[in-house]
Amino acid sequence: MAEDPGTRERILRTAGELFQRQGYHATGLNQVLAEGKAPKGSLYFHFPGGKEQLGAEAMSRGGAAVAEKIMAAMADATDPVDAIATAIRKLADDFVASGFRAGCPVATVALDVAADSELIMVACADAYRSWTALVTGRLIGWGVPPERAEGLATVAIAAVEGALVLARVRRDPAPLREVADRIGALVAAEAGPT
Protein backbone atom coordinates (compact mmCIF):
# COMPACT_ATOMS: atom_id res chain seq x y z
CA MET A 1 0.00 0.00 0.00
CA ALA A 2 1.85 3.04 -1.19
CA GLU A 3 -0.29 5.23 0.97
CA ASP A 4 0.86 7.96 3.28
CA PRO A 5 4.62 8.07 3.21
CA GLY A 6 4.48 8.52 6.95
CA THR A 7 5.31 11.43 9.13
CA ARG A 8 8.98 10.69 9.39
CA GLU A 9 9.35 10.45 5.65
CA ARG A 10 7.44 13.66 5.10
CA ILE A 11 9.59 15.54 7.55
CA LEU A 12 12.78 14.25 6.04
CA ARG A 13 11.72 15.07 2.53
CA THR A 14 10.64 18.58 3.40
CA ALA A 15 13.80 19.20 5.35
CA GLY A 16 15.89 18.02 2.41
CA GLU A 17 14.22 20.40 0.03
CA LEU A 18 14.46 23.36 2.35
CA PHE A 19 18.09 22.69 3.23
CA GLN A 20 18.89 22.48 -0.45
CA ARG A 21 17.30 25.82 -1.22
CA GLN A 22 18.03 27.83 1.90
CA GLY A 23 20.91 26.17 3.61
CA TYR A 24 21.06 24.59 7.01
CA HIS A 25 21.09 27.53 9.36
CA ALA A 26 18.60 29.53 7.37
CA THR A 27 16.05 26.75 7.65
CA GLY A 28 14.09 26.63 10.87
CA LEU A 29 12.56 23.48 12.22
CA ASN A 30 9.28 25.30 12.51
CA GLN A 31 9.30 25.87 8.80
CA VAL A 32 10.09 22.24 8.15
CA LEU A 33 7.26 21.11 10.38
CA ALA A 34 4.83 23.59 8.93
CA GLU A 35 5.54 22.75 5.31
CA GLY A 36 5.70 19.07 6.09
CA LYS A 37 2.40 19.28 7.94
CA ALA A 38 3.94 17.40 10.78
CA PRO A 39 2.98 17.89 14.40
CA LYS A 40 5.56 19.70 16.41
CA GLY A 41 6.28 17.09 19.01
CA SER A 42 6.81 14.33 16.47
CA LEU A 43 10.14 15.58 15.33
CA TYR A 44 12.03 14.50 18.40
CA PHE A 45 10.37 11.17 18.38
CA HIS A 46 11.51 10.38 14.89
CA PHE A 47 14.77 12.27 15.09
CA PRO A 48 16.06 12.15 18.64
CA GLY A 49 19.25 13.74 17.43
CA GLY A 50 17.36 16.88 16.56
CA LYS A 51 18.24 19.15 13.73
CA GLU A 52 21.68 17.67 13.34
CA GLN A 53 20.34 14.20 12.73
CA LEU A 54 17.80 15.59 10.35
CA GLY A 55 20.55 17.32 8.44
CA ALA A 56 22.73 14.24 8.31
CA GLU A 57 19.95 12.02 7.07
CA ALA A 58 18.91 14.59 4.52
CA MET A 59 22.43 14.65 3.20
CA SER A 60 22.49 10.88 2.89
CA ARG A 61 19.19 10.98 1.05
CA GLY A 62 20.25 13.75 -1.23
CA GLY A 63 23.58 12.11 -1.94
CA ALA A 64 21.92 8.82 -2.80
CA ALA A 65 19.42 10.52 -5.06
CA VAL A 66 22.16 12.21 -7.03
CA ALA A 67 24.07 8.94 -7.21
CA GLU A 68 21.06 7.33 -8.79
CA LYS A 69 20.81 10.06 -11.34
CA ILE A 70 24.46 9.64 -12.19
CA MET A 71 24.02 5.91 -12.63
CA ALA A 72 20.94 6.31 -14.71
CA ALA A 73 22.66 8.78 -16.98
CA MET A 74 25.82 6.80 -17.47
CA ALA A 75 24.67 3.24 -17.19
CA ASP A 76 24.07 2.29 -20.74
CA ALA A 77 25.97 5.01 -22.54
CA THR A 78 28.89 3.84 -24.60
CA ASP A 79 30.15 7.20 -25.71
CA PRO A 80 31.70 9.19 -22.84
CA VAL A 81 31.13 12.53 -24.46
CA ASP A 82 27.48 11.90 -25.04
CA ALA A 83 26.96 10.42 -21.61
CA ILE A 84 28.52 13.30 -19.76
CA ALA A 85 26.97 15.95 -21.90
CA THR A 86 23.46 14.58 -21.59
CA ALA A 87 23.83 13.97 -17.89
CA ILE A 88 24.87 17.53 -17.22
CA ARG A 89 22.29 18.94 -19.58
CA LYS A 90 19.57 17.09 -17.77
CA LEU A 91 20.87 18.52 -14.54
CA ALA A 92 20.76 21.98 -16.05
CA ASP A 93 17.16 21.51 -17.13
CA ASP A 94 16.08 20.42 -13.65
CA PHE A 95 17.90 23.37 -12.22
CA VAL A 96 16.18 25.84 -14.47
CA ALA A 97 12.84 24.20 -13.73
CA SER A 98 13.36 24.85 -10.02
CA GLY A 99 13.68 28.54 -10.70
CA PHE A 100 17.47 28.47 -10.26
CA ARG A 101 17.01 27.67 -6.63
CA ALA A 102 17.70 23.98 -6.27
CA GLY A 103 21.46 23.70 -6.54
CA CYS A 104 23.47 20.78 -5.30
CA PRO A 105 21.70 19.33 -2.26
CA VAL A 106 24.99 18.65 -0.56
CA ALA A 107 27.12 21.69 -1.31
CA THR A 108 24.69 24.20 0.15
CA VAL A 109 24.60 22.47 3.47
CA ALA A 110 28.26 21.47 3.50
CA LEU A 111 29.42 25.03 3.20
CA ASP A 112 27.39 26.56 5.94
CA VAL A 113 27.56 23.71 8.39
CA ALA A 114 31.32 23.78 8.22
CA ALA A 115 32.73 22.68 11.52
CA ASP A 116 29.44 22.87 13.39
CA SER A 117 28.63 19.24 13.01
CA GLU A 118 30.98 16.42 12.34
CA LEU A 119 28.03 14.14 11.74
CA ILE A 120 26.72 16.16 8.86
CA MET A 121 30.11 16.71 7.34
CA VAL A 122 30.68 12.97 7.28
CA ALA A 123 27.39 12.48 5.50
CA CYS A 124 28.40 15.08 2.94
CA ALA A 125 31.81 13.53 2.46
CA ASP A 126 30.20 10.14 1.95
CA ALA A 127 27.98 11.56 -0.72
CA TYR A 128 30.89 13.01 -2.63
CA ARG A 129 32.87 9.83 -2.19
CA SER A 130 30.08 7.73 -3.62
CA TRP A 131 29.68 9.94 -6.65
CA THR A 132 33.39 9.92 -7.32
CA ALA A 133 33.52 6.17 -7.04
CA LEU A 134 30.64 5.82 -9.44
CA VAL A 135 32.14 8.09 -12.04
CA THR A 136 35.57 6.60 -11.62
CA GLY A 137 34.25 3.15 -12.32
CA ARG A 138 32.47 4.29 -15.41
CA LEU A 139 35.54 6.11 -16.69
CA ILE A 140 37.60 2.98 -16.37
CA GLY A 141 34.94 1.19 -18.31
CA TRP A 142 35.37 3.74 -21.03
CA GLY A 143 39.07 3.13 -21.25
CA VAL A 144 40.57 5.72 -18.99
CA PRO A 145 43.73 4.40 -17.38
CA PRO A 146 42.81 3.36 -13.83
CA GLU A 147 45.51 5.46 -12.23
CA ARG A 148 44.12 8.57 -13.85
CA ALA A 149 40.42 7.83 -13.54
CA GLU A 150 39.81 9.05 -9.99
CA GLY A 151 41.51 12.36 -10.58
CA LEU A 152 39.49 12.89 -13.70
CA ALA A 153 36.28 11.99 -11.92
CA THR A 154 37.09 14.45 -9.18
CA VAL A 155 37.67 17.23 -11.66
CA ALA A 156 34.45 16.43 -13.47
CA ILE A 157 32.43 16.54 -10.29
CA ALA A 158 34.18 19.66 -9.11
CA ALA A 159 33.42 21.40 -12.38
CA VAL A 160 29.76 20.53 -12.14
CA GLU A 161 29.54 21.62 -8.52
CA GLY A 162 31.21 24.88 -9.33
CA ALA A 163 29.03 25.43 -12.36
CA LEU A 164 25.98 24.94 -10.18
CA VAL A 165 27.19 27.67 -7.89
CA LEU A 166 27.87 30.05 -10.75
CA ALA A 167 24.61 29.22 -12.42
CA ARG A 168 22.68 29.85 -9.27
CA VAL A 169 24.26 33.18 -8.61
CA ARG A 170 23.86 34.34 -12.16
CA ARG A 171 20.46 32.72 -12.59
CA ASP A 172 21.69 31.39 -15.87
CA PRO A 173 22.34 27.78 -16.86
CA ALA A 174 25.15 28.72 -19.22
CA PRO A 175 27.99 27.67 -16.91
CA LEU A 176 26.53 24.19 -16.74
CA ARG A 177 26.37 23.95 -20.49
CA GLU A 178 29.93 25.17 -20.88
CA VAL A 179 31.08 22.57 -18.42
CA ALA A 180 29.13 19.90 -20.22
CA ASP A 181 31.06 20.61 -23.39
CA ARG A 182 34.56 20.97 -22.01
CA ILE A 183 34.47 18.16 -19.51
CA GLY A 184 33.16 15.85 -22.17
CA ALA A 185 36.14 16.77 -24.31
CA LEU A 186 38.52 16.30 -21.42
CA VAL A 187 37.23 12.83 -20.78
CA ALA A 188 37.30 11.93 -24.40
CA ALA A 189 40.92 13.01 -24.61
CA GLU A 190 41.88 10.76 -21.74
CA ALA A 191 39.65 7.90 -22.61
CA GLY A 192 41.94 7.51 -25.44
CA PRO A 193 41.28 7.36 -29.08
CA THR A 194 43.60 4.55 -29.66
Partner DNA sequence: ACGTCCGGGACGGCCCGTTAGT
Partner DNA sequence: ACTAACGGGCCGTCCCGGACGT
User: Where does this chain bind DNA (CB under 7 A)?
Assistant: 6-8, 25, 27-31, 38-46, 50-52
Integer Cα distance of 186 and 80 in angstroms: 10
Which ranges constitute the DSSP H helices of 171-191?
174-191
Binding-site partner at residue 42 among DNA, a copy of itself, none, CB < 5 to 8 Å by type: DNA
Residue 23 engages a copy of itself in binding (rule: CB under 8 A): yes
23 vs 102: CA distance, rounded Å: 11
**Can residue 91 be called a binding residue for a copy of itself (CB under 8 A)?**
no
Question: Whole-angstrom Cα distance, residue 80 to residue 193?
Answer: 12
Query: Is 169 a binder of a copy of itself (CB under 8 A)?
Result: yes
1 or 61: CB nearest a copy of itself: 61
C-alpha dihedral sign at 7, 91, 136, 68: positive
Burial of 38 (0-12, 13-18, 19+ CB in 10 A): buried
Q: Measured from the CB of residue 28, what is the shortest distance to DNA in angstroms?
A: 3
Using the contact rule CB under 8 A, the part of the chain among 2-10, 16-24, 64-72, 137-145 near a copy of itself is 16-24
Choose the binding region for a copy of itself from 4-12, 88-96, 117-125, 136-144 (rule: CB under 8 A): 117-125
Q: Which of 67, 77, 165, 188 binds a copy of itself (CB under 8 A)?
A: 165
| Choice between 5 and 39, CB closer to a copy of itself | 39
> For residue 163, how far is the Cα from the chain centroid?
13
Angle 174-191/118-141 helices, nearest 10 degrees?
50
Q: Is the dihedral of CA 174, 176, 181, 183 positive or negative?
A: positive
Question: What's the min distance (Å) between Cβ of 103 and DNA?
Answer: 20
**Residues contributing to the site for a copy of itself (CB under 8 A):** 21-26, 101, 103, 106-108, 110-116, 121, 124-125, 128-129, 151-152, 154-155, 157-166, 168-170, 174-175, 178-179, 181-183, 185-186, 189
